[in-house]
Structure 1
Amino acid sequence: MARRGKGGGTIVIKRIEEGGHGHHGGAWKVAYADFVTAMMAFFLLMWLLNATSEEQRRGLADYFNPSLALSASASGSGLPFGGRTPHSVGEMAADTGAIRVERGPRPTEIEEEDDSDRPAEPVTRLDGPPGEAEVLARRVADGEAGPATGQRSSGGGEAELAAESPHEREARRSAAEREQQSLEGLVDALRETFLADPALADLARQVLVEIAPEGLRIQLLEADGQPMFASGGAAPTERARLMIRTVAQAAARLPNAIQVTGHTDSAPFRGGGARGNWDLSAERANATRRLLTEAGVAEARIRGVTGMADREPLLPDQPQAAGNRRVAITLLRQEAPR
């Protein structure tokens, strides 16, 4: 609108209409596009579920949920501390962790009958001089020790190999139980050490502890991308040194003899020449022995150092898995089970 003012000039009045109809905006187009995209993704997912087999779907799930090969094993060493945390449900938080106690079967004692009071069987008397069988029967009947004439007497022979008394059996059983408690206490000490030190927490997934009939076995495993030794050699890595030093400090609490065993996977040795997995496993076991003694374990406690190559894999279904490359440190029982 324009009109003329008093001074002769032209005054222009411009009115701006504010507001508008909501349906003339573009925000609904974005929401509609999102809805169409979501519906397309939904129908695509339904089509894929119908067009693929169960094995293919499992493979897709494994691709988006990667895990170590060790996590599928019975060792429980694929995740830090077995995939559990100190806040997991249980009676004690200390029960969590990759360090695990597996109780072996308790030795069964066979009660031996005491035949010392059993009367001797009657002996048929023979005419003439007594023969060798009669002499032996008379000696047994009279309680004499030693075998028949012509055999070496050892001051008692089989007659002195009487059954243990109940007191001796109870004493041996008590000693075995005390040793079992000591081994379990060492397991708890190892668990607390790995849980308390942040530097060791990442190493816990490579430690497997079990109480076996021969003693307490501590296995230090390799993992993909986390080797214990240099490839094809026996030079320990810093991870291996830290783990072995921690085990040595815990083992120093007990006087048990120690057996060190090296293991490899089934992959052929790539070093060439006459050396093979037997040599490699033995060299790694011997390197572990040196690290144990350097950390304070008395040399006299080392009972043996053995290389087993790939003969006892931890994961038999995966002979070339990293977990098969390991070193076992076993604290042998002092009281042999009977």
Structure 2
Amino acid sequence: MARGRGEGTTIVIRKEEGGEGGHHGGAWKVAYADFVTAMMAFFLLMWLLNATTEEQRRGLADYFNPTNVMGQRASGSGQPFGGRTPNESGQLASNASSMRVETGPRPVIFDLEEDDSDSPASPVERREGPKGDDEIATPARLMAQHAPPGTGPGENQAGLAQASAEALREELARRERDAMDRMAEQIRAAVREDPTLADLARQLRVEQVPEGLRIQLLDGEREPMFALGGNAPSEKLRALLAKVAAVINRVPHAVAITGHTDATPFRPGARSNWDLSAERANATRRLLTEGGVAEARIRSVTGLAGREPLMPENPQNAANRRVSVLLLRENPAP
């Protein structure tokens, strides 16, 4: 096409972008290849499960699983998620592989050493260990060993039970006697070490009797424990009973209190020695309870007048006027 003078030539450039249609792309091929691979692996797995035994499958699983030295069985225990399902509450874990410690028999240790020589073996040194039940010498076992021949099982058991009961009673009685001896010495020492009561040591008599520990407070010719003919205690008697109460408070024994008088009678129509001995015993009870002895421990409060004199050959002696505090035994000797 002709143009006028002075006009240039117009050049038009058309660019066309080449490409394939959307349905002609290659991305689907990759996805299809992955699908075919997965299906092939799945069918291969199914074939292996059908063509192998249980032992072979377990060997394959152990080969591909990491070694678990703490586990007792294969991972998963043959079920998904370690034996649990996703629908169950709680953690998706199983305790099938937890370690369990149980106490078994103690291993036997032999003091043997391997020796290829033909020399005779040296004797093994004996080790002393704790004695077994059959080696412990108990009273029942000793009685059984020394039972007379011909004794039947029933008679033997009855005899053992009786012998054991007697041995127990004797042991308890012996311990109680020792404890009462210690209490007697403590009472004597408490009186000796008190300067205000040292002169009353000769009027204190502490001794063991079949019933228990008897503590007697005696009147003196010039040191009466109570007012003459009355039941008012002296100051020294109060201090003395405080010492006695402090000692007997350490034991749980029951207490029996007895009052005694001499043979001197009252005037006719007045009160008798029975009344006086009972009143003095009751006054002693009050002083002991003030010293801390529980009222529940008092077993009896008795007045015997002059029926049991300490010195029968001299019924008028001042020592017959006394108060007795008796700690009763809990385990009398058989």
Q: TM-score, normalised by structure 1?
A: 0.51
The letter for the 2-side match of 1:210 is: E
Q: Which residue of 2 aligns with 1:238?
A: 235
Deviation sequence 1:260-305 (CA, Å, 0-9, x none): 00000000124x5352001110110010001000110000110000
Distance 1:162 1:281, change over 3 A: farther
Alignment of 1:180-329 (within 5 A): 180-270=177-267, 273-329=269-325
| Counterpart-to-counterpart distance in 2, 1:225 and 1:115 | 70
The letter for the 2-side match of 1:231 is: L
Q: What is the count of residue pairs matched by the alignment?
A: 185
Deviation sequence 1:308-328 (CA, Å, 0-9, x none): 100000011110110000000
| Counterpart-to-counterpart distance in 2, 1:183 and 1:221 | 21
Distance 1:115 1:246, change over 3 A: farther
Distance 1:275 1:337, change over 3 A: same
| Counterpart-to-counterpart distance in 1, 2:160 and 2:297 | 32
Distance 1:285 1:164, change over 3 A: farther
Deviation sequence 1:44-63 (CA, Å, 0-9, x none): xxxxxxxxxxxxxxxxxxxx
The letter for the 2-side match of 1:188 is: E
Alignment of 1:326-337 (within 5 A): 326-337=322-333
Secondary structure, counterpart of 1:165 in structure 2: helix
Distance 1:171 1:320, change over 3 A: same
Deviation (angstroms), 1:163: 8.5
Secondary structure, counterpart of 1:202 in structure 2: helix
| Counterpart-to-counterpart distance in 1, 2:216 and 2:325 | 6
| Counterpart-to-counterpart distance in 1, 2:152 and 2:238 | 57
Secondary structure, counterpart of 1:191 in structure 2: helix
Q: TM-score, normalised by structure 2?
A: 0.52
Deviation (angstroms), 1:174: 1.4
Contact 2:207 2:214 in 1 (8 A): yes
Bigger RCO of structures 1 and 2 (CA < 8 A, at least 6 apart): 1
Q: Which has the larger radius of gyration?
A: 2
* Root mean square deviation of aligned Cα: 2.4
| Counterpart-to-counterpart distance in 2, 1:163 and 1:291 | 48
Distance 1:292 1:117, change over 3 A: same
Deviation (angstroms), 1:195: 2.0
Alignment of 1:22-61 (within 5 A): none
| Counterpart-to-counterpart distance in 2, 1:211 and 1:288 | 20
The letter for the 2-side match of 1:328 is: S
The letter for the 2-side match of 1:314 is: L
Distance 1:287 1:117, change over 3 A: same
Deviation (angstroms), 1:232: 1.2
Secondary structure, counterpart of 1:311 in structure 2: coil
Distance 1:194 1:172, change over 3 A: same
Deviation (angstroms), 1:175: 1.0
| Counterpart-to-counterpart distance in 1, 2:272 and 2:264 | 10
| Counterpart-to-counterpart distance in 2, 1:311 and 1:182 | 31
Structure 1's unaligned 5+ residue stretches are 1-112, 119-160
Match of 1:165 among 144, 162, 165: 162
Deviation sequence 1:94-125 (CA, Å, 0-9, x none): xxxxxxxxxxxxxxxxxxx999857xxxxxxx
